[in-house]
Amino acid sequence: MPQISVRGEEMPASPIRKLVPLSDKAKEKGITVYHLNIGQPDLPTPKVALDALHKIDRTVLEYSPSDGYRSYREKLTKYYASYNINVTADDIIITTGGSEAVLFAFLACLNPGDEIIVPEPAYANYMAFAISAGAVIKAIPSTIEEGFALPSVDKFEALITEKTRGILICNPNNPTGYLYTRNEMNQIRDIVKKYDLYLFSDEVYREFIYTGSPYISACHLKGIEENVVLIDSVSKRYSECGIRIGALITKNKKLRASVMKFCQARLSPPLIGQLIAEASLEASQEYMRDIYDEYVERRKFLIDGLNRIPGVYSPIPMGAFYTVARLPVDNADTFCAWCLSDFSYEGQTVFMAPASGFYSSPGLGRDEVRIAYVLKKEDLQKALFVLQKALEAYPGRTI
């Protein structure tokens, strides 16, 4: 039998999706499954976006330009300017979701064997994209005890070798909801400048910041403009995960030229998705405010509820719509699978993402889960109650 590639063998299964078969089987039994595992917003897509979809009247669904429609990129510059991110349409390349933006950034910037430093826990697919590019992630752990704050500069510098090419951050963070402070971003800037590294900054959750602290974009950092690669997506802010529209933004012309070769090889980003995303830029302030207010309420409800369950601890996330919680279990992977395969309470169970999949350091996150608060409060209340019942019944409970 032909062999699978080493890359294929090393590619990790998604901690968000790998338990889907168990969830499907539970549903087949008639069990209600509360999905806390995936960042799929349940809130409505903007009406202007849906109207644009319904009004598409074309005789040919053609290729778009490999870097995306210019009209969309021009309008995006105004959106970014509202966050004091000053870019031109030529600085923006439209991608098939934020995922492709990360992958193309890695392919254009990193050689096989090159290393990138990533604070963890981190979005699990970063590791998959690094493996695809033949790059190596050097993880620098943050801890739940410190609220997942950025590790100190000396810990970063201890990981830097002749193969180090960049630092990757997500701000606000998925999976922890942590928001990097101005001081932390300045520390990253200084390291990037000192060692002439790339700074890959995933900022798809900028709309969802729940503290008085300011949003500091990598594009706000002075002196490293040519080093910054900004990753963005419409998936979360407009509840448009399915249209697969993201962006890679950089002022580095040489890098953009390299990324464009990969864009040309995949021909073009989704035509229909771009039409919808462009229309979404006209979403009303009322729409954005209502979405924001809803997540604020859900966050408070979930975190208060989690911390009332005996043995459970979650820090307060400052952004995005996730939290990483510590559970009183011997193994969160086993517990999450058990909840779907062996447990139900009054015909209900919960689907969570084991946090071990968000760490590349072996052994970390074994008693942690990532929870997405993308359900209405009534369902969150039910999910919290079912979680408490599951913890009470779980054979591997530790307290």
Mean pLDDT of the chain: 96
Q: How far apart are the first and last CA of the chain?
A: 48
* Average pLDDT of span 327-332: 97
CATH H superfamily, domain 6-44+286-393: Aspartate Aminotransferase, domain 1 (3.90.1150.10)
The DSSP letter of residue 204 is: T
Return the pLDDT at 319: 97
The domain segmentation of the chain, as residue ranges, is: 6-44+286-393, 57-280
Give the span between the Cα atoms of 79 and 87, in whole angstroms.
Answer: 10
* Average pLDDT of span 176-201: 97
Return the pLDDT at 77: 98
Going through 213-354 in order, the beta strands assigned E by DSSP cover 228-233, 246-249, 322-326, 348-351, 353-354
* Average pLDDT of span 310-338: 97
| CATH label, 57-280, candidates 1.10.10.10, 2.60.40.10, 1.10.540.10, 3.40.640.10 | 3.40.640.10
In the chain, what percentage of residues exceed pLDDT 70?
A: 100
Give the span between the Cα atoms of 110 and 350, in whole angstroms.
Answer: 39
The answer to whether the beta carbons of residues 270 and 96 sit under 8 Å apart is: yes
Return the pLDDT at 12: 83
* Average pLDDT of span 179-195: 97
- Concatenated DSSP letters for 70-127? HHHHHHHHHHHHTTT----GGGEEEESHHHHHHHHHHHHH--TT-EEEEEES--THHH
Going through the chain in order, the beta strands assigned E by DSSP cover 32-35, 92-95, 115-120, 136-141, 164-170, 198-202, 228-233, 246-249, 322-326, 348-351, 353-354, 368-372
pLDDT digits (tens, 9 = 90+) for 6-44: 888 988 878 778 899 999 999 999 999 999 999 999 999
Tokens (6 digits) for 1? 């039998």
In the chain, what percentage of residues exceed pLDDT 90?
A: 94
pLDDT digits (tens, 9 = 90+) for 101-155: 999 999 999 999 999 999 999 999 999 999 999 999 999 999 999 999 999 999 9
